[in-house]
Amino acid sequence: MSENRPGVTARAPAKVNLLLQVGPLRDDGFHDLVTVFQAVSLHEDVTATPADTWGITVEGAGGTDVSGVPLDGRNLALRAARLLAERAGVEEPVHLHVRKEVPVAGGMAGGSADAAAALVACDALWQLRTGLDGLAALGADLGSDVPFGLHGRTAVGTGRGEQLVPVLTRGAFHWVFVLDDTGLSTPRVFAECDRQRGPGWTGPGADGRLEAVEAALRDGDPRALAAALSNDLADAACALAPQLTRTLDAGRAAGALGAVVSGSGPTVALLAESATAARDVAAVLAPVVGEGRLRTASGPAVGARVLEAVA
Ligand SMILES: C[C@@](CO)(OP(=O)(O)O)[C@H](O)COP(=O)(O)OP(=O)(O)OC[C@H]1O[C@@H](n2ccc(N)nc2=O)[C@H](O)[C@@H]1O
Ligand SMILES: Nc1ncnc2c1ncn2[C@@H]1O[C@H](COP(=O)(O)OP(=O)(O)O)[C@@H](O)[C@H]1O
């Protein structure tokens, strides 16, 4: 009986975009990107257990508010499991349990991490041995950020963000993330970016931003990386959520080396000199923004992997 078989748990990381260069709107509704993703040590754990019907439960960990997570066929983890089953000809439903540490709709790709972890957990449960490239191809059909959730570490993303090349990095980078209560819709932020640019805008051109980020990562130099952080969606995110400008300023005033909006926001990522410095920045910010809105983490973190088999 399927109910007696053990489940499989997989873990996948959140991400921050160290560089997010947004090109023109394409005919398919996406934008060409040049981005540098870094996976960080905030995680999603997804447990897949054989069941009589498809289902999902979600639990918030470390104070994560999961009220915005859909529990129906729109859930990215459930969509991922069903897509893998369909492509592999598996007819065994699973129940998924998601333990979320990553803020919802925060620009840190928590939903994509859920999809990545669900793919890895179900692939192991069903003993499919699909391989990373095969899972990443499936993941790209679910969302542009899903392949990076599978790969993890640090990578340059091109196309709509799904084409990945690893980046050489030295050492660890230490982050403070400032969460915001208002979730920002990714398509809305891209649309606001287009609106701000206007119809005559033709492209960002070559400006050396990618090379500066790559050099800082290769040297393991947090000061150089802080100076090189940039996000073309930041102005759009700040227009839709004006309080983010104050959060960026407060982060710099609290001693962060650099501050950037994470992806389409509204989470703000602050880079610190060391793990101790990150804790100090968080301690200075706690009375300003509230302790519950702060998370410290380090990167690069590894991509989606099986954690354990549960009895
Ligand atoms: C902005 C980024 C930066 O890493 O992250 P988040 O802020 O969402 O975490 C990503 O590009 C988000 O990727 P993801 O959240 O997977 O988006 P998708 O589901 O693929 O697309 C949702 C919508 O965002 C817009 N979109 C997304 C990716 C892209 N390269 N161009 C776009 O214009 C499109 O309107 C698309 O319909
Ligand atoms: N497993 C999931 N976790 C979170 N959000 C999900 C999930 N599945 C679908 N969603 C939808 O995707 C939206 C954005 O998800 P999320 O990945 O948390 O943020 P972002 O795209 O900003 O990084 C949510 O607002 C929610 O409606």
- The residue out of 131, 152, 167 marking a domain boundary is 167
* Per-residue pLDDT tens listing for the chain (311 residues): 455 678 999 999 999 999 999 999 999 999 999 999 999 999 999 999 999 999 999 999 999 999 999 999 999 999 999 999 999 999 999 999 999 999 999 999 999 999 999 999 999 999 999 999 999 999 999 999 999 999 999 999 999 999 999 999 999 999 999 999 887 999 999 999 999 999 888 777 778 999 999 999 999 999 999 999 999 999 999 999 999 999 999 999 999 999 999 999 999 999 999 999 999 999 999 999 999 999 999 999 999 999 965 54
The candidate with the shortest Cα–Cα distance to 233, out of 204, 271, 190, is 190
- A 10 A CB-CB count for 59 gives 11
Q: Are strands 163-166 and 258-261 parallel, antiparallel or unpaired?
A: unpaired
Residues 184 and 133 in one domain: no
Distances from the Cα of 214 to the Cα of 155, 207, 224, angstroms = 10, 13, 10
Residues 155, 192, single domain; the answer is no
Do 79 and 213 reside in the same domain of the chain?
Answer: no
Pick the atom of ligand 2 nearest to 183's CA: 25
In a domain, 230, yes or no: yes
What number is the ipTM of this complex?
0.97
User: Domain range spanning residue 273?
Assistant: 173-299
Q: Whose CA is nearest to atom 25 of ligand 1?
A: 187
Do 87 and 124 belong together in one domain? yes
Q: How far is the CA of 166 from the centre of ligand 2 (A)?
A: 25
Q: Under 8 Å CB-to-CB from 162, ≥6 apart: which residues?
A: 136, 139, 140, 144, 146, 147
Q: Parallel, antiparallel, or unpaired for β 268-272 and 258-261?
A: antiparallel
Q: Is residue 310 part of a domain?
A: no
Residues paired with residue 96 on neighbouring β-strands, in sequence order = 48, 56
How many distinct structural domains can be found in the chain? 2
Task: Indicate whether 188 belongs to any domain.
Answer: yes
Looking at the fold, whether 113 and 182 belong to one and the same domain comes out as no
| Sheet strand arrangement including 258-261 | 258-261, 268-272, 173-178, 294-299
Q: Whose CA is nearest to atom 1 of ligand 2?
A: 111
- Write out the H or E segment, with its range, that includes residue 63: none
> Of 116, 134, 167, which one is at a domain's C-terminal end?
167
Q: Which of 45, 114, 145, 232 is catalytic?
A: 145
Is 15 a known active-site residue? Answer: yes
CATH number at residue 269: 3.30.70.890
Concerning whether 145 is annotated as a catalytic residue, the answer is: yes
Mutational pocket test of ligand 1: of 20, 34, 145, 162, the residue with most ligand atoms within 8 Å of the beta carbon? 145
Best probe residue, ligand 2, of 69, 83, 185 (max atoms within 8 Å of C-beta): 69
Q: Is residue 236 part of a domain?
A: yes
Of 144, 167, 190, the position where a domain reaches its end is: 167
Q: Which amino acid is at 261?
A: V
Please report the sign of the dihedral spanned by the C-alpha atoms of residue 66, residue 68, residue 72, residue 75.
negative
Contact residues of ligand 2, CB 6 A cut-off: 68-70, 74-77, 104-112, 114, 183, 186, 263-264
